[in-house]
Structures are given as C-alpha cells and as structure tokens.
Copies of this chain bind each other. A is one copy, B any other.
Amino acid sequence: MKQDPGPQSISADPGARPALRAESLLERYREIRSMSDALASSLSDEDCNLQSMPDASPVKWNLAHTSWFFETFVLRAYEDQYEPFDPSFAYLFNSYYAALGDRHARDRRGIISRPGMDRVRAYRFWVDERVAGLLRRIDLPVFEQTIELGLQHEQQHQELLLTDIKHAFACNPLRPTYQAIEHDPAAEPPELGWLPLSPAVYEIGHNGAGFAYDNESPRHRVYAGDCELSDRLVTNGEYLRFMQDGGYERQELWLDDGWSFVQRDGLAAPLYWRRPGDRWVEFTMSGEREVDPAEPVCHISFFEADAYARWAHARLPTEAEWEAAFGLVPVRGHFASAGILHPMAASADPDGGPMQVFGDCWEWTGSPYRPYPGYRPPAGAIGEYNGKFMNGKYVLKGGSCFTPEGHVRPTYRNFFTPESRWQAAGIRLARDPA
C-alpha cells in the first residue's frame, strides 16, 4: 500500500454515505429514530430506568437525550420561536455540554422515574414531527449536516443503549435476557495469520467525502509500518490459554496501572464471565451460556488486551497502523442489524482478506486518543462533542456487534478509558520484525 515518493491517500468510500437530500434524509431520519424505539421494545418501563454504574445510562435517558439533541441543535436553531416540549428537559437530558448550562448529575440519571417512558415516547414523537416538518421545508447544507450529526449521535446511543442494558441485566442476580437466541457452538476459526504493513508515509483521517466526526480530521500524513497485523481477532480459546498460563496473576505481563486495576478490582476473566462450576460461562444478550472458544474474546479492558498481547509476544496495533492497513477494506461485518448482538467466530475470507475488521468487536489500539495535527473543534456547544475528552483514553477501531450498520468507517475513532469493559471490545494483534 506504499506510495512513493509522496504519501498515500486512503479514504473511506464516499459512495457508502447517504445522499444528503431531503426526501432520503427524511426517510433515513425516520428509519434511524424508529430503530431506537425498536431496540427498547422488549423492555419494561422498570428496565428502561436502570442505571447500573455512572458510565452507563438508563435506556429511557438514552431515548430522551437523543431527542434533546435534535431539539437543541435543530428545533431551537431552525424553528421560529420554538417553544420546548418541556422546559425542564434542557436540564434533565443535556449530557455534558457545559456551554448549554447546568445539567443533571451523570451518575444520578437512574433517579429520574418521572418523566416516565410514556412521556419520553411522547417527547420523541413531538420532536420527530417537528424535525420532519423542517426537513420538508429547509435544504440548507448546514441544516442537513446537523440532522446527519444528530442521526450519527442517535446511532452512537443505540449502541450505548444495548451495552448499558446488557450491563444492567448482568447486575441482576436473575440475569434477565434481552432476547432469546439459541447459540450453536461455532466452528473452529482459521489459524491466526499475519498481514504485513510496509513502512511508508500514509495518509489517515477523513478525506472530506461523506459524514465524519470532527475528531477524524484533518486528514494528515503519518509514518508507519514495518510490522504485521493479525488477520483475525483473538478468540476465547486463545484467551483461556492466557488465563490458564497465569495471565491475571503474572505482574510482568501488565502495565503498572493495569496491574493496580487487576489487584483493586480482583480481575480474573473478561467482564461477563463467571465460573460457577468447572466451566466458564458468559452472560450474553440471550442469557448465560458456556463460553464458546471459537468466538472472539470480548468485553475486556485495554489493560487486558495489552497484557494478552505481551503474553503472546506481540503488541496492539497503533491507530495509524490499523488505518493504514485496513483503510480500503469494505465496511462489512456483523453489526447490530444482524440481530445476534454477540461477536461471531471468524470464518476464512474467500479472497484471503483480513477477517472481522468491522463489526464483532471494537479493536483496542495502542494509541492514546489525542487530536490530529491541526485539529480544531467546531465553534459553539457542539465543539464539546469530542474535543474535550482527548485525555486518558485509547482509540478503538472497527465497530462491534452492537454498532448500527452504516455507522462506522475506517477513519472512525472510538475512545474509552483503559479500564472500560462494558463495550464490546476485543483484541487484534500486531508484531514487529524479530
């Protein structure tokens, strides 16, 4: 993939982006918004109000907050003399936009039994009607870009809604199930192979076509390569060998902060694993079942991914390596729309290409989440969307089985603290020449 002498251009396929024209945008709006409702349809009102930890939000809050986003950035901006649905919602459902004023404490979202689910559904309906009206009347690019941002935001919260309810259900000793899907043990995946990346100057970041978040820009040159990336994700079976080899007890395999985390929280397995008898079981959206050794290991922290890689005489890829290697791979994989809501075992690509690049599990990179050279957050409150979080987190790439189809792209930069485990994150390895 090297381009000589100048740097190489790698970009997402702009054709995959929806045309930002009114009719199709309205259709897209309705489709994405109704998907959020559909995701909550199997849940009781009590389920929808659960907040199992400060990082997770109630389903109801996710549903209301995404509506607040459209109300705040679309209705208030484009409706004449807009009267809000409920003036208190600006306080209740603002997540973290300090420029928009005070807001309800993040770790106390579970206390909001009122407004109830009925009223939040009414709120969604109200917002949707008005946004639809605007979509019929306005076709300014900046308006459409804001709609698109709201839809991308909605999709992010669809993923959070799923991971948040999974976490909440896992905290309930009864271990309720979100959906009933039978699982048949998967076939053994192909042996781990390695894909070389030549050393070169590459270009990474968003190239300007189609939607992207501000943090994917500017597109810029990086020098990377002279390494190999594994052609599939690490499996549960492989991770079990790490565990059996004392992975969680051997300090030398861990970063110092990771070791403190292991000690303090008593980590001994991925997040949703338990060992009630002599076999490991795993909590899934369809209940607890035996760990399938063929599936990719999932719900692990950066620290666990990093320790596994060290144990395997490898390391995590950097963000630049990942994007340089996979920037032209088609965005296909097991996303939320597959309905399984669990990562699937790899099966060999008929064309010999890399497996599980998109969907299944987010892939921890070894790259801290920092601004690209020349990055500037947008003006106004929306500038708080991404920029202020650029500390203490690592970049993840590729999307997961909870990510809505069409939401992710090669330049997408997801980011979480290195202790985070409730997202569907797994491991792709990299290695340097011996």
Binding site for B on A (CB under 8 A): 4-5, 7, 44-50, 52, 60, 88, 91-92, 96, 98-99, 104, 108, 110-117, 168, 171-174, 176, 199, 201, 221-224, 226-227, 251-252, 254-259, 303, 315, 318, 366-368, 370-371, 373-374, 384, 388-392, 418, 432-433
- Determine if A104 and B373 form an interchain contact, defined as CB atoms under 8 angstroms apart: no
Would you mind naming 16 contact pairs between A and B with Cβ atoms under 8 Å apart? A44-B114, A45-B46, A50-B113, A88-B174, A91-B173, A92-B174, A111-B168, A113-B168, A114-B172, A199-B221, A221-B223, A226-B373, A257-B391, A257-B392, A259-B388, A391-B418
In Å, the complex CA distance between A325 and B96 comes to 38
Residues of B within 8 A of A47 (CB): 113-114
Q: Which residues on B sit within 8 Å (CB–CB) of A7?
A: 223
Of the residues B48, B112, B371, contact of A172 by C-beta under 8 Å: B112
A288 to B: closest C-beta gap in Å: 14
- Determine how close the nearest CB of chain B comes to the CB of A304; give it in whole angstroms: 13
The 5 nearest A-B residue pairs measured at CB: A368-B368, A46-B113, A5-B5, A256-B388, A223-B223
With both chains docked as a complex, state the minimum distance between the C-beta of A372 and any C-beta of chain B, in angstroms: 11
**How many of these chains are in the complex?**
4
Contact of A173 among B98, B104, B257, B432 (CB under 8 A): B104
- Complex-state Cα separation, A171 to B373, whole angstroms: 40
Cβ-defined contact, A98 with B251, below 8 A: yes
How far apart are A115's CB and chain B's nearest CB, in angstroms?
Answer: 7
Q: How far is the CB of A264 from chain B (nearest CB, A)?
A: 14
Q: Which of A112, A366, A391 has the most CB of B within 10 A?
A: A391
Q: Report the separation of the CA atoms of residues A187 and B258 in the bound assembly, to the nearest whole angstrom.
A: 48
For A258, the closest partner residue in chain B by CB is B391
A248 to chain B, nearest CB (A): 15
Across the interface, A108 reaches (CB within 8 A) one of B44, B112, B171, B373, namely B171
- A46 with B172: CB separation less than 8 A: no
Shortest A326–chain B CB gap in Å is 18
A147: min CB distance to chain B, Å: 25
Q: Find the B residue at minimum CB distance from A254.
A: B388
Contact B370 A366, beta carbon cutoff 8 Å: yes
Closest chain B residue to A168, Cβ basis: B111
Distance of A41 from chain B, by nearest CB (Å): 15
Are B176 and A201 interface neighbours, CB within 8 A?
A: no
* Contact with A116, one of B44, B257, B373 (Cβ below 8 angstroms): B44
Q: How far is the CA of A222 from the CA of B432 in the complex (A)?
A: 16
Q: Which residues of B contact A223 (CB under 8 A)?
A: 7, 201, 221-223
A45→B118 CA distance, assembly (Å):
12
Central interface residue in A47, A50, A112, A113, by most chain B CB within 10 Å? A113
Shortest CB-to-CB span from A25 to chain B, Å, is 31
CB-defined contacts of A432 to chain B, threshold 8 Å: 373-374
**Which B residue sits closest to A390, measured CB to CB?**
B255
A227 → chain B closest CB, angstroms: 7
Q: How far is the CB of A354 from chain B (nearest CB, A)?
A: 21
Q: Which residues of B contact A433 (CB under 8 A)?
A: 374
Which residue of B4, B255, B368, B373 is within 8 Å of A5 (Cβ)? B4
Most B Cβ at <10 Å: residue of A117, A176, A256 = A256
What is the CB-to-nearest-CB distance from A343 to chain B, in angstroms, rounded to a whole number? 25
| Complex Cα–Cα for A370 and B173 (A) | 36
Given A221-B223, A222-B223, residue A111 in contact with residue B46 (CB < 8 A): no
Least CB separation from A393: chain B residue: B257
Residues of B near A88 (CB, < 8 A) are 173-174
CB contacts (< 8 Å) of A373 on chain B: these are 224, 226-227, 318, 432
Collect the chain B residues with CB atoms within 8 Å of residue A368's CB.
Answer: 368, 370
Q: Are B172 and A113 in contact (CB under 8 A)?
A: yes
